[in-house]
């Protein structure tokens, strides 16, 4: 009877200096299930995963974990022990070596040897077998860096399943994937399930839970709120459990009145320097009004990020076409120019491009704005701190203090720091590139409210999003991109998810029914 549960987690409590990450967490996972695990950022999901994976060895936490009725006690080399037992994790940040091939990555750390030398033939033939078994369509000799994020994720999964995995833990696998890639990931998970692999699935995209999971456990503030059968619940109920209060709507209603035209882009093109004759962006024209939110939708690689970085001066002199700011033609050749013209960009990858992670929160917020608090000789540090405090309060950034290292904040709060930094520079145009990626529902809502407020105050906003609902829920107009071209600009009232998907996939004669 007990055998039906592969994992039983009993009364797990884990403390970190000054904070209790998990408190008396208990739940069970059925063999062969896909078990969803959800909760807001900081609810304790990642900590739990790390305990299961042996990152935090036995005795650093209280409570018991039973794996097939046997208590798990990982002490030495705990991560390897966990892998040997058959518990593998696919982390949010991929743990692969970009310079190595697919095969090398899958067998990293356990390369097949013959007489003390690596047997490359066996390595690659085994790789081929594994990929074939799980119907993964990936070239085995390709360098990992040449693959899309989605393909890389699949390599990571292949690596995990090739180690005789019994429990596969996926920590936000879809946060960087396109719609099509998510679909094939779902297929793979179903296939794994048919082969008897148990999965623990963590995501911020709640719809996904209802596509594949059997049961859902909701965590809040380090405690289990409930474990429910997926078929017995709904998105709204799960959200209510996560945030602890009822959320009536996913998107706050705005009261925006777009004003006069502030930005006009005519015939913007960017050549791709790596390939002759190819262009990253081709002949894009659009305009933007004060106090308007222009959503940009498109698949990954459609040129949506390239378009906004081009406006932000990333490509220097490679761009052709004209940009008019408040009626005057301007030339933006660098980020510096863009900032001086009052354009701000919250970049797609906040860790790589938005933040200096090793620095304190206040240093990040004031980075583009130090000029306001300083002359040539000194920075007025107290005035700086005061101003940063104001923005931190306005945006409700949850941080122990302004001196906390940014790296230790949760994803949502890091994103707020990036937004705070650009708000302080009082921009006329704010460009947000996928601002809610990897952020939980509650914080998302706060960010939406913030964006609405900014637009109401007359800031023109361009917002890229991977989530169609978000584009639909937030934008006044929606621009859809496909292969570097703008295929259509729709008004909010004319737009539907189906239309956007059609134009984003390059179908131009979508019948308007």
Partner 1 sequence: MKSFNIIDKIKINIKTYTLIIALLIIWLLFAFLTDWIFFSPRNLSNLFRQMTIVSFLSIGMTLVIITGNIDLSVGSLTGLISAMAAYLQAYTLAPLISGLFPNISIVALGILSTIITIIVCLLAGLLIGIYQGYIIAYLRVPAFIVTLGGMLVFRGGVLGITQGRTVVPVENSLRWIAQGYLPKNLGMLVAVIAVIVIFLMSLQNRKKKIQYGFELKPLAYDLLTASVYSALVFGSILIVNDYRGIQNPVIIMIVIAIMITYLSNNTRFGRYVYALGGNIEATKLSGINVQSIIFKVFILMGLLCGVAGIVLTGYVAAGTIGGGMNYELSAIAGCVIGGVSLMGGKGTIIGALIGALIMASPRME
Q: Residue numbers of the site for partner 1 (CB under 8 A)?
A: 17-18, 312, 335-336, 338-340, 345, 347, 352-359, 363, 367-368, 370-371, 374, 376-379, 381-383, 385-386, 421
C-alpha separations of 376 from 341, 370, 373, 379, 380 in Å: 22, 11, 10, 8, 11
Q: Which residue, 254 or 347, is less far from partner 1 as judged by CB?
A: 347
Q: How far is the CB of 430 from partner 1 (least distance, A)?
A: 14
Q: How far is the CB of 293 from partner 1 (least distance, A)?
A: 22
Name the packing angle between helices 179-194 and 149-161 (round to 10°). Answer: 10
Q: How far is the CB of 405 from partner 1 (least distance, A)?
A: 10
Q: How far is the CB of 389 from partner 1 (least distance, A)?
A: 9
Q: How far is the CB of 150 from partner 1 (least distance, A)?
A: 23
Contacting residues for 403 by C-beta, under 8 A, at least 6 apart = 360, 361, 362
DSSP for residue 494: G
Q: Which residue, 82 or 308, is less far from partner 1 as judged by CB?
A: 308
Q: Report DSSP letters for 256-296, one per residue.
A: ----SEEEEEEEEEEE-TTSTT-EEEEEEEEEEETT-EEEE
Beta-sheet strands, E only, within 272-413:
279-289, 293-298, 319-325, 328-330, 343-346
Q: Which residue, 345 or 397, is less far from partner 1 as judged by CB?
A: 345
Task: Label residues 312-324 b or e (16+ Cβ within 10 Å = b).
Answer: bbbbeeebebebe
Q: How far is the CB of 399 from partner 1 (least distance, A)?
A: 16
Label each residue of 120-165 as H, E or C: HHHHHHHHHHHHHHCCCCCCCCCEHHHCCHHHHHHHHHHHHHCCCC
Q: Which residue, 103 or 347, is less far from partner 1 as judged by CB?
A: 347
Q: How far is the CB of 372 from partner 1 (least distance, A)?
A: 11
Task: Label residues 130-162 b or e (16+ Cβ within 10 Å = b).
Answer: bbeebebebebeeebeebeebbbbbbbbbbbbb
Q: How far is the CB of 252 from partner 1 (least distance, A)?
A: 28
Q: Give the CA-trace dihedral at 431, 475, 41, 221, to 10 degrees.
A: 140
Q: How far is the CB of 258 from partner 1 (least distance, A)?
A: 27
- Identify the H or E element spanning 207: helix 206-212
Q: Which residue, 258 or 347, is less far from partner 1 as judged by CB?
A: 347
SS3 for 81?
helix
Q: How far is the CB of 77 from partner 1 (least distance, A)?
A: 26
The rounded distance, in Å, linking the Cα atoms of 471 and 479 is: 10
Phi first, then psi: what are they for 360, rounded to 5°?
A: -70, 160
Strand 62-67 to strand 113-114: parallel, antiparallel, or no bridges (unpaired)?
Answer: unpaired
Q: Which residue, 122 or 372, is less far from partner 1 as judged by CB?
A: 372
Q: Which residue, 186 or 385, is less far from partner 1 as judged by CB?
A: 385
Q: Which residue, 331 or 336, is less far from partner 1 as judged by CB?
A: 336
Q: Which residue, 17 or 327, is less far from partner 1 as judged by CB?
A: 17
Q: Which residue, 76 or 382, is less far from partner 1 as judged by CB?
A: 382
């Amino acid at each position: 009877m007990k055998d039906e549960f592969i994992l039983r987690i009993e009364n797990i409590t884990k403390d970190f200096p000054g904070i209790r990450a998990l408190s008396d967490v208990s739940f069970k996972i059925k063999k062969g299930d896909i078990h969803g695990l959800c909760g807001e950022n900081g609810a304790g999901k990642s900590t739990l995963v790390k305990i299961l994976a042996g990152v935090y060895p036995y005795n650093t936490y209280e409570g018991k974990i039973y794996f097939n009725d046997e208590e798990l006690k990982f002490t030495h080399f705990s991560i390897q022990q966990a892998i040997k037992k058959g518990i593998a994790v696919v982390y949010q940040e991929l743990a692969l070596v970009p310079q190595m091939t697919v095969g090398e990555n899958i067998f990293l750390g356990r390369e097949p040897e013959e007489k003390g030398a690596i047997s490359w033939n066996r390595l690659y033939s085994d790789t081929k077998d594994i990929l074939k078994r799980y119907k993964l369509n990936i070239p085995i000799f390709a360098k990992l860096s040449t693959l899309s994020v989605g393909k890389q994720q699949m390599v990571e999964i292949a690596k995990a399943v090739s180690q005789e995995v019994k429990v596969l833990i996926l920590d936000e696998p879809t946060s960087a994937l396109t719609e099509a890639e998510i679909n094939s990931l779902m297929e793979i998970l179903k296939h794994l399930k048919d082969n008897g692999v148990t999965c623990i699935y963590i995501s911020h995209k709640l719809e996904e839970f209802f596509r594949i999971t059997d049961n859902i456990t909701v965590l809040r503030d380090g405690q289990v709120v409930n474990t429910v059968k997926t078929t017995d619940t709904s998105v709204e109920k799960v959200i209510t459990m996560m945030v602890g209060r009822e959320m009536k709507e996913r998107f706050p209603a705005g009261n925006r009145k777009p004003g006069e035209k502030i930005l006009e882009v005519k015939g913007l093109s960017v050549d791709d320097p790596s390939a002759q004759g190819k262009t990253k962006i081709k002949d894009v024209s659009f305009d933007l009004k004060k106090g308007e939110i222009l959503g940009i939708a498109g698949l990954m690689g459609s040129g949506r990020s390239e378009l906004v970085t081009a406006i932000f001066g990333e490509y220097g002199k490679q761009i052709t076409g004209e940009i008019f700011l408040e009626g005057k033609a301007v030339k933006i050749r660098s980020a510096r120019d863009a900032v001086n013209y009052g354009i701000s960009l919250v970049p797609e990858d906040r860790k790589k491009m938005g933040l200096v992670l090793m620095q304190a929160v206040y240093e990040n917020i004031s980075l583009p704005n130090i000029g306001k608090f300083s002359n040539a000789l000194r920075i007025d540090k107290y005035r700086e701190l005061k101003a940063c405090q104001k923005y931190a309060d306005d945006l409700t950034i949850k941080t122990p203090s302004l001196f906390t290292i940014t790296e230790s904040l949760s994803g949502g709060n890091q994103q707020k720091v990036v937004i705070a930094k650009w708000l302080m520079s009082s921009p006329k145009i704010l460009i947000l590139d996928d601002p809610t990626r990897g952020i939980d529902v509650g914080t998302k809502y706060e960010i939406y409210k913030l964006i609405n407020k900014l637009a109401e105050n007359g800031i023109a906003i361009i917002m890229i999003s991977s989530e169609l609902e978000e584009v639909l829920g937030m934008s006044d107009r929606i621009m859809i991109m496909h292969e570097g071209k703008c295929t259509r600009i729709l008004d909010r009232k004319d737009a539907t998810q189906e239309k956007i998907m059609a134009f984003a996939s390059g179908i131009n004669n979508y019948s308007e029914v």
